[in-house]
Structure 1
Amino acid sequence: MRRATPDPMIEARRRGPIPKDVDPTIEVLVNDIIAKVADKWTMLILEALDEHGTLRFTQLGKAVGRISQKMLTQTVRQMERDGLVRRTVHPVIPPHVDYTLTPLGESLGAAFCGVWIWAETHHAEIERARRAFAAAGEASDVSACIETP
């Protein structure tokens, strides 16, 4: 994912104090967006459109890779519903459909870019922690198999 320029409005609010009261409507929206963004297909489609620009449906499927036509259809429809993707149907025979990111979709890509950078920065630490956890699990598995008198 390419590095996006930060949105000055978001950056100013992020650096400001944490609000004391949380608007329940915003909380529901945030939980909904996180659930969708956590979906790997949404992020892969977002990345493909960010890298390649406007793509036809079949090109988008190839760029994402290993996604069924049904899942691609469901995901881009949801992204279109949320205003992240613009779908353009060309009235030709045979008809074809193009997908492109909207400015809102581009801004979500910029937000995800921060997660990408975080993962890249902390990759070695995460791998060390995973190895340590696996080793501790193996040690406890071995000790559970040893009979005590």
Structure 2
Amino acid sequence: MISTAENILPDKNECANSLTNVMDALYVLNGKWKLPLILSLVQSSKRFNEIQHELRGISPKVLANELKDLELNDFIRRQVYPTRPVSIIYEVTEYSKTLREVMRTLSEWGWQHREKIKDSMRQEKGEVFG
């Protein structure tokens, strides 16, 4: 590693490994809906329509595909109950809880970024009208 006054920079191998790891993570969690979907189901198990209602803007087709991908990667489980009509409930698995720290960090970063953009917009308005 290369050390600077403020931080430690990774060497070429560490960068390559990190890149591979990040690409693997993004491959599994790609798209705009996967993490919000998991967050929705962490709150409580839900039926398809409940999820769609909570995640405004997601189409039924996209939701169905995202649920299949998340189930394939063991983040959620689809439970079918033999009621009339059949009840299908989606719930998170233990494996999805491994994303807790990732989601917390993304949430903090998202808040900071939103505040940064708001500040930039305020400054721009101040320069235009100041």
TM-score by length of 1: 0.62
CA–CA separation in structure 2 for the residues paired with 1:26 and 1:90: 42
Change (3 A) 1:86 1:64: same
Change (3 A) 1:18 1:93: farther
Task: Identify the residue that residue 110 of structure 1 maps to in structure 2.
Answer: 101
1:61-80 equivalences under 5 Å are 61-80=52-71
Task: Identify the residue that residue 48 of structure 1 maps to in structure 2.
Answer: 40
In structure 1, stretches of 5+ residues that fail to align are 1-16, 134-149
Change (3 A) 1:31 1:132: farther
The partner residue of 2:25 within 13, 30, 33 is 33
User: Would the aligned equivalents of 1:45 and 1:64 in 2 still touch at CA under 8 Å?
Assistant: yes
In structure 2, stretches of 5+ residues that fail to align are 1-8, 125-130
Cα RMSD after superposing both structures: 3.2
CA-CA distance at 1:110 after TM superposition: 3.3
Of the two, which has the highest radius of gyration?
1
CA–CA separation in structure 1 for the residues paired with 2:23 and 2:77: 23
User: Would the aligned equivalents of 1:56 and 1:97 in 2 still touch at CA under 8 Å?
Assistant: yes
CA-CA distance at 1:85 after TM superposition: 0.4
TM-score by length of 2: 0.70
CA–CA separation in structure 1 for the residues paired with 2:110 and 2:18: 27
1:13-28 equivalences under 5 Å are 21=13, 28=20
CA-CA distance at 1:70 after TM superposition: 1.0
Deviations 1:45-90 (A, max 9, x none): 1121122x11111111111122111111100110011111011111
Q: Give runs of ≥4 in structure 1 deviating > 4 Å.
A: 17-22, 24-29, 129-133
Secondary structure of the structure 1 residue equivalent to 2:83? coil
CA–CA separation in structure 2 for the residues paired with 1:110 and 1:35: 18
Task: Identify the residue that residue 98 of structure 1 maps to in structure 2.
Answer: 89
Secondary structure of the structure 1 residue equivalent to 2:52? helix
By relative contact order (CA 8 Å, sep 6+), the higher-ranking structure is 1
